[in-house]
Amino acid sequence: MGFKTIRWRHSVILAVFLLLSLSLNASAGDAGIQELKDAFDASVRSEGKKAGDYELVDQDGRRFRLSDYFKENGKPLVVSFIYTTCPEVCPTITAELKGAVDNARAKFGDRFNVLSVGFDAENDTPAALKNYGLKFTKDFSSIRFASSSPETVRKMTEDFGFFWKKKADGSFDHIDMVTVVKGDGVIYKQVYSMRTQGATLGSRLEEVLTGKPLGKADASLIDKIKYFCYRYDPYTGKYVIDYPVFLSVFIQLAVILAIIYAVWGKRIRARFKKG
């Protein structure tokens, strides 16, 4: 290996590490990539754990406990988290959830329950939950809406691995996710991106109800990046790409590829020539 080649490789490696340092600094702001990665990891860690017991109040003002769903011969429970003043994202998630639930009920009947919990405890009152719910169903036995005290909501969302964060303007950043809980109260699987992958919920319910896994459906790298790179824009009422975070992820991937090519580029080219 010649001196110029060694020098070139050292220069490339130095450059990419400088780029990596810049990209990490760029992502250290609000809703940085590490925070989002931690949120995703927390949601995965919740799988397999027994859900805690919480007192909730539904859209009709009736108090109940989460454990009521998991008594003897309990049914699987689908849990979503929303906030009623959300202008577009939560309604879209709930609409997709309702569609997926209707499809699952056509196949499995009433062998499972659905609970949508308002995590904005101060504003998600029974009246607000009822007004919100009536946009999607007239039958609250199909999807029940509920909330609780701020402390209870905080504990429950942490328990379920649901990430949400209140912003200075009163809006929220949160993950697009629903949770499937087995009839014994053990969290089975998270279902991510209901807005685009609602059909996955039916598959997860089928697994729980039949006891037969339908195959691995873990989030791909692209899906994870998609979860990480979106933020809520209160002016448009939509989730939009957070370009600093997206750029950070892109640069880090480019850095990894550049290092691989700098170190093993010659072997890679040789292999392609042989092929």
The more confidently predicted of residues 70 and 9 is 70
**120 within domain boundaries:** yes
Q: Worst-scoring range by mean pLDDT, 54-68, 243-257, 259-273?
A: 243-257
**188 within domain boundaries:** yes
Rounded to 10 deg, the angle between the 243-274 and 221-228 helix axes is 160
Q: What is the pLDDT of residue 213?
A: 76
User: Are 152 and 258 found together in one domain?
Assistant: no
- Residue 96: give its domain's CATH number: 3.40.30.10
Greater confidence (220 vs 99) lies with 99
| Predicted local distance difference test score (pLDDT) of residue 233 | 46
Is residue 80 domain-resident?
yes
Is there a single domain that holds both residue 103 and residue 182? yes
Task: Please indicate, yes or no, whether residues 89 and 161 belong to a single structural domain of this protein.
Answer: yes
Please report whether residue 52 resides in a domain.
yes
Q: How far apart are CA 192 and CA 178, in angstroms?
A: 7
DSSP conformation class of 68: G
What's the average model confidence in pLDDT over 158-176?
89
| One domain, residues 132 and 252 | no
Mean pLDDT throughout 219-240?
49
What secondary structure letter does DSSP report for 119? S
Number of domains in the chain: 2
- 195 inside domain: yes
How many DSSP H helices and E strands does the chain contain? 9, 11
Query: What's the half-sphere exposure (Cβ side, CA atoms, 13 Å) at 173?
Result: 19
Q: What pLDDT is recorded for position 212? A: 80
- In the beta sheet, which residues pair with residue 198? none
From the list 233, 244, 96, the residue with the least C-alpha distance to 178 is: 96
In a domain, residue 150? The reply is yes
Within a domain: 230: no
How far is it, in rounded angstroms, from Cα 81 to Cα 214?
25
Compare 39 and 118 and report the one with higher pLDDT: 118
Tens-digit pLDDT profile for residues 22-57: 333 343 344 456 777 788 888 999 999 999 999 999
pLDDT score of 106: 94
Let me know if 24 is exposed, middle or buried by CB neighbors in 10 A (0-12, 13-18, 19+).
middle
β-partners of residue 232 are 239
Is 68 part of any domain?
Answer: yes
Q: Which range of residues forms the domain containing residue 148? A: 38-219
Query: What pLDDT is attached to residue 3?
Result: 46
- pTM assigned to the model: 0.69
Whole-number Å distance between alpha carbons of 75 and 81: 19
